[in-house]
Structures are given as C-alpha cells and as structure tokens.
Structure 1
C-alpha cells in the first residue's frame, strides 16, 4: 500500500508508469476494485468445484443422435477426477449373434457375463421365441435393424456381415452414458474382462484407438488383412473413434460391398479415418484346428483377453468336453486373473530336466535340457484354419519330437487354492503326454514316477503389466518320488534362464 502511494512523489519508483492515474485516493479505489474482483473470481471457482463435485468422478461421453439429419456429435466432459481408472462400467460390449446360433452358444457368453455389472447386448437377426424366456444369466438382447437396402456382393460370404458391422452404429444410437470403449465379439467368444480392463487402461480413451489381434493362420491374414482386428477374437474401439466411425459407416458399408466379413468392413472404414490397428497379443481369434494345447501351454507374455472358435478345436482339457474345460479355466481365472496361462520355465539341474508351466493350465517336464528359445516356442499341436496344413502361422512353432524319450511328460490342472493372503497354490496331475510315457529308458523312469506337480506363487496384479513385460521366473523347491514342488516369482536383478 505505502509503495503505491509513494509512486506520486518518487521519480525512480519501478511503478512510475502508474503515475498519471494513481493519486492516493484513486489508488485506494483501484486496490478495492481489484480485491472485489479477486473475491468474485474466487467465489466463481468455488461454485464451479461444488457444482461439478456432484457429478460422478469419471469422464463421461454424452452421445447425441439426430435420426432425421444423420447428424452425430459427442461432447466429452471431463470432471475433476478425470483420471479415474478404467473399469468394467466404462466398457460397452456388442456381441454378434443370431437366433439360430444363440441356443448352442449362449453358454460361452454366460461364462464371463455378470448381470447388472457387465454392460452391452447380444445383437440378433430377429426376435427370439417368446415361448422360451430369455435367461437372466445371458446378456440382454437387441434385434438388429433391417439391412436389405445395403449391397453385398461377396460370393462366398454372408449378408449377416453387414448387420454385425452396424452393431457399432446401433450401439452408439442407444446413447449409453459414461462409455469409454466399445468392445465387439461373437457369440462364441469368451472374454476375460479383468484382463481386458488391464489392457485398455494402458491407453488414453480420449484418443482414437482400434485395438485387437490378427489371425493365427497366415492364410487368413493374407486373404483378409494383417491390418485388421479379427472380430471373433474381439476388438476394442475407443469412443472418439466410434464417434467418427458412425458418421461414415453406412456409406462405407456400401463402398466395400465386395468384402467378406463385418470385421473387414470396420477395418476398411477405420482406414478412411486414418487410424491403424494397435495389436495386443492376448486377443485370440483361434483360427486353428485340432488341439490348441501347444498355443496355450506357451502363452505370450501378455494378459489373456479372449478365446474364439472354441467349437472348432479339441477340448482344452482331456477327459472333459469343451464347456467343462472352459469352466475349469474360468475357475482358475477368477482366483488370479492376471496370472492365468502365464508362462514360466526353469531347470532341475540334478535331474537334467526342463520344466515349463502355463499357470492354471498345464506343466510340461522334459527329461532333457532345452534352451529358453525352445521352451518359449509353442509345440505345434494344431493346424491352420482353412487348409488344415502345418503352417505357416503368425508365430514360430516347433514340431513334437518323433523320439518318445524327447517328448514332455504332461500334467494338467487338478486344483487351485488361495492358501494365504495373496498366496496361490495350484496342483497338476499327470493324465497324458505327447508320447513321453512310451519311453523305456531308465533315465525316464524318474519323470514317469511323478504323479503331481505343485506350484506356489503370489497373486499377480494389473500394474505388473505396466512395467516392462518380462516373464516371471521359477525354481525347484522340492523333489519327492511322486511329487515336484515349484515356486514362481519375479526374476531377480540380473537373473536369467541360461543353461550352464
């Protein structure tokens, strides 16, 4: 205050530029004016915070649709707590189905769908039979709009591809609030939602993302596209991308009338927007035939997000049908979602054994020492999707050894327990092998004497995927005549899986 008053008499004052308009009386009025202004701004800011604190502490998409003018717009309102972690409420599922297929495939969706928690619909080609009540454990259904006006000229495909592609548009029109991601799949797709959330939470949902995986069979990627998220394995579209996509979708569907599937149409339309696929290894199209064992026993270092085409491969577990096999896998998944199918391997140097673990599924014991590169490469127990040939695939495989004594002895999951806070125990029982049981060498007898493998571990958490991805390590804890005890843990600093 005194400094400002002095500006009227002190020539060297740094505030001398105020001299023409700051007499002592006017300066007091000026200060009073600024103080009142500051109080007003402070009051407005306080009102702003109080007002917006009444809203949910999360980002919201408010979707507006004008049926008559085809005018789409979306306004993204960020609240104060816009950094809330992505959770299941932020995901809207769109499942492509039909009345004809749903009767036999609904069990797949019911494995992972949680009524009143999971959001979305299965989209049908017509209204289901009113005499057969819709089960509460199934996703709610919607009947797709008529698509007869659209062109479809692919001679070996089905017009249902148009209807299923338009799930994007019809889901958008529902105007669901607080949606960050639209996730598409088929009625024979099994999702693992917690892992899906872990994957999507690594991406900024305010940006345009198109996330999914390719086919496992090269022939399918060549026919369709390496740049496409295959729909059965699931794809995730961020809502900013959906907002742009729905503006051109119907016209785009007609432009690409010659394409085969719904996922090809979505890929082509997304390309017109200029967005490329972001590939995630946990989306499994399962474009394979025969036995998926080798692929699941050497799962990539990525969360298990989805499985598809389960009617076209052998059951995941021997001595069970496919549905019971999936129930077993889902039971493990509920105990430790993040670790499910995660691959670890180590050596028993006293026995010269290589031990490979796919957590919650299987253990393989080789009576020889294999390199880390060999152990991380899936055994080719499957064939390609279309031609039923031995490849090629979009990942490396290794053929089972013709020598019985070189093949692994295989153990399958028997039970899983939580034995302490965050401590997991899984037990694996020997049921069958790829021929190792036929070996007559004395050195093989010790392996064949094993009846169970017991594995202890700590429960994995989602933030483990936010670190640099690294396979966890294991070590042999105890070897008894009929049982082998193993512990899985994070690798130590500088630790490697290197043969001596």
Structure 2
C-alpha cells in the first residue's frame, strides 16, 4: 500500500502537493502540529526580545493619544490647588514674542509655573533667559479650513496640544496671550474654589458691549485669559479637530474654543477678575474702582495709556506688581473713607491710587468708575458691561489724585504704602473751601488680606459694581 501511494505521487506532481506529506496516522499529525507550534512560539519570543531591546515600551501596544494623556496625569494628589497644578498655554508668534515676552517676565516664575508659549515657527531670536516660559511649535494647524485667520485656528488648538503633552498632575489648563499679565496667586485662589474633576470653563467677558454682541456674552475672551478644568479638557481633546472644521467661519480663537465647549454642554463660569481690557484710552477710572474680586489678569496693555503718569507701561506694571507681591489679595481693592470735619470723601485703590473729593459722595457713586476710557472698536463713550460716571470738566468736581510711590512690607502680616500727589495739566480749583493742596503725600497702613476672604464673598456679590467695599479708618 505504501509503495502504491509513493508511485502515485511520482506520477502526478499535482497530487504530490496534495497528498505526499499527509501522515498515515492521526498521532503523526498531532506531533507535527505540536512541533510547528513550538517553532512559531520560539520565533515570536526571539522577535519580541529583539523589539523590546531596541524600542520604547510605550510603543509596544500603542494607545489612543487621549487615553495615554489621562494615564500620565493620574497621580493622586489631595492637596489644595496650588500653582504647580496649573499648566499655562500662552499664544504667541515668532515675530512678536521677543518684544512681548517682557510682559510675561513680570509674572512667570521658572521655579513654580509650568507651561509653554506656543509659536507658529522657530523664533529668529532665541531666549536664553529662564524668566520666560519655554516654547513649543504648533503642529497640524495648517490643514484646517478658515475664512479669517489661520492663526486663530492654531491658537484655538493650544488647549488640545497642551493636553496632549500629558504633563503629570495638571488640574487646570490656563490660556492667555503673550501680552497677558497674570496675577498667579489670585488665579490660584479663584480656581481653588472649583473642583477640577468637574467640567468647568472659567473666564470673563469683554468690557465693551459691542464686542460681546459681536462674539458672545457666553464666551470667555482669550486675551483676559481663561481656565479649563482637566475633566473638560479631556472631553474637549476628543472633539477638538472635528469641531474646528465645523466652525471654520468664526473670527477668533477664543470664539472657536467656546463653540466646541458649548457643544459639550458646559456654560461659562464668570469670574470678573479676568480682564480682557477691551477699552481705549486711560484705564485709570476702572482700576481706581475695581470690582470686589481678586485681580487675576490684565490685557491689551500696549493699547492703553500707562497706568502711572510719566512712566512707560512696562515700568507702570512693575510698580503695580511690586505692591501685589506684598499683599496679592488686596491689590487694587477699594476702600472708602470720609473726613466729616472737612467734608472729604476718600477712595483708596490699594497699591495703585487714592482719590480725594472735597465733598461727601455716597458709596454707590465712588464705586462707579470714572469714564476715562472709550469702547474698544468704535472709540465711543459706551456702552460697557458696567455703569460709569462722567469725568466733570469742572476742576472743583474732579478728585485730587495720588499715585503709589512706595510699598513696604511690615513684619509678617502688614504693609505701608505711600501715595504721592499728581499735578496734571488740568486747571486748578480756586473755589473757597475746596482746596486740599496741603495734602501732598498719603500714608496707608494695612494688614495683609487673607486669600480665604474671597471664599466667603457670595458669588452673587462678585459683580462689576458690588455694593460692598473694605472698611477703612481715617486719622
């Protein structure tokens, strides 16, 4: 029988392929399969050993990017929110970063702050200064359709690209421009009120109604900065690119981010310490009557008059921040005093300015900003999202203004600030009983304001014109 089968194999080559290697017994087939399996396992083991020796572990079994990012940030940290839990994404460009980085230097601390400035290309002038954040080059943004500006698409994707980096232990992604100045201790205080494990979108509107109408009242304006909780960023990263394709006709980057967050169903949580500063002219009136909220950010600084007279804007900011470092929670917070004997009303914006009116004014008027500025787009006298009062042309109705001259820390919990009278070009008041020129310098002593104070202020009172101010005494 065996001889016959061999002969048939030789006679028909086609039958050789089909029958010659078929064993006669089932046991032979089992043995052959076992040997073949051992050979496959041996080859696979050798291949895996060689692959692991010459490749990174995270490439063995690649995961989707958003899942990998979640794994990188899964460190358990039960501490209260602090600056290390924030990741900043600063929108910049290679052409402007070298000049505008001077504003970032005012608040960036390489020992505590984390994040990057995102540029469109490698800058021609490389910073060796550690006082500015490192840079990243935005990727993949040129493939998106747009009507107005390609850079708006790039800047909108900073949220996505920041999340994709997978930095550990991030609770909040904070976006801003390269000319945004953050007051980071106050920013931490504000974000510390919210649970980063929930989906939050926190920021502020434009000061000019025309801007809010054009874009949206429900949008956080990007120049003033906004914060996205980790939980929201994780969801946003999943839909970001598809969403940007749907809103290709939008104008700005912040409007695109808002539209994508709106699709997820998360509303804007307004915090009025984020200042887009969509105003023109002199911001003095606003800063002299700042709302009862911690100062979180300032923007559009080069489009505004310097905060302090006879100084550049950069030097003005350095002076303001010198007071901020002494008492972060108190900076530009308003206190109102009355000298009933001389019938004076005194308004103090701590760390910035003091106004003396030679008449008694109700607190509601003093809390209303003098209109020393105009709207952003049309350069008109309003409307704004807060009430203003006109600056009188009568010098006797105008306040005497004093600006911060010195700020000194006293002990562990106190400060002394000195304000010097400013003599502008305005006409002087010669009316009897209204002269206060004998006052040239004012000295203010204060205890350091506990940041926990802001947690006790009801959210309903955190309005541009809060009816509450800090009390003060006058001697």
Query: 1: distance between equivalents of 2:376 and 2:62?
Result: 41
Describe the SS at the equivalent of 1:103. Answer: helix
Match of 2:213 among 216, 222, 231: 222
Match of 2:354 among 350, 353, 363: 363
| Larger RCO (CA within 8 A; separation ≥ 6) | 2
User: Aligned pair 1:300/2:294, yes or no?
Assistant: no
Match of 1:340 among 327, 331, 349: 331
In the TM superposition, residue 135 of structure 1 has moved relative to its aligned partner by: 2.1
Match of 1:162 among 146, 150, 153: 153
State the structure with more CA Rg. 2
Match of 2:170 among 179, 195, 199: 179
Structure 2: runs of 5 or more not aligned: 1-57, 459-467
Query: 2: distance between equivalents of 1:89 and 1:167?
Result: 19
Aligned length in residues: 406
Say whether the 8 Å CA contact 1:365–1:408 is kept in structure 2.
Answer: yes
Query: 2: distance between equivalents of 1:314 and 1:432?
Result: 17
Tell me the residue number matched to 2:144: 150
Query: 1: distance between equivalents of 2:410 and 2:193?
Result: 31
User: Aligned pair 1:213/2:204, yes or no?
Assistant: yes
In the TM superposition, residue 132 of structure 1 has moved relative to its aligned partner by: 4.0
Query: 2: distance between equivalents of 1:175 and 1:420?
Result: 42
Query: 1: distance between equivalents of 2:378 and 2:314?
Result: 26
Query: 2: distance between equivalents of 1:204 and 1:247?
Result: 21
**Structure 1 residues 119 and 70: CA distance shift in structure 2, 3 A:** closer
User: Aligned pair 1:468/2:457, yes or no?
Assistant: yes
Say whether the 8 Å CA contact 2:403–2:421 is kept in structure 1.
Answer: yes
Tell me the residue number matched to 2:83: 88
In the TM superposition, residue 286 of structure 1 has moved relative to its aligned partner by: 0.4
Say whether the 8 Å CA contact 2:210–2:377 is kept in structure 1.
Answer: yes
Describe the SS at the equivalent of 2:423. Answer: strand
In the TM superposition, residue 423 of structure 1 has moved relative to its aligned partner by: 1.5
User: Aligned pair 1:125/2:120, yes or no?
Assistant: yes
Tell me the residue number matched to 1:378: 369
Tell me the residue number matched to 2:189: 198
Tell me the residue number matched to 1:115: 110
More strand by share: 1
In the TM superposition, residue 67 of structure 1 has moved relative to its aligned partner by: 8.1
Query: 1: distance between equivalents of 2:74 and 2:111?
Result: 25
Say whether the 8 Å CA contact 1:410–1:433 is kept in structure 2.
Answer: no
Say whether the 8 Å CA contact 1:410–1:434 is kept in structure 2.
Answer: no
In the TM superposition, residue 71 of structure 1 has moved relative to its aligned partner by: 5.2
Superposed CA RMSD in Å reads 1.9
Query: 1: distance between equivalents of 2:361 and 2:255?
Result: 41
Say whether the 8 Å CA contact 2:208–2:382 is kept in structure 1.
Answer: yes
Describe the SS at the equivalent of 1:160. Answer: helix
**Structure 1 residues 71 and 379: CA distance shift in structure 2, 3 A:** closer
Query: 2: distance between equivalents of 1:166 and 1:203?
Result: 24
Say whether the 8 Å CA contact 2:371–2:391 is kept in structure 1.
Answer: yes
Query: 1: distance between equivalents of 2:117 and 2:253?
Result: 15
In the TM superposition, residue 68 of structure 1 has moved relative to its aligned partner by: 8.0
Query: 1: distance between equivalents of 2:362 and 2:425?
Result: 19
Match of 1:440 among 424, 430, 438: 430
Describe the SS at the equivalent of 2:287. Answer: helix
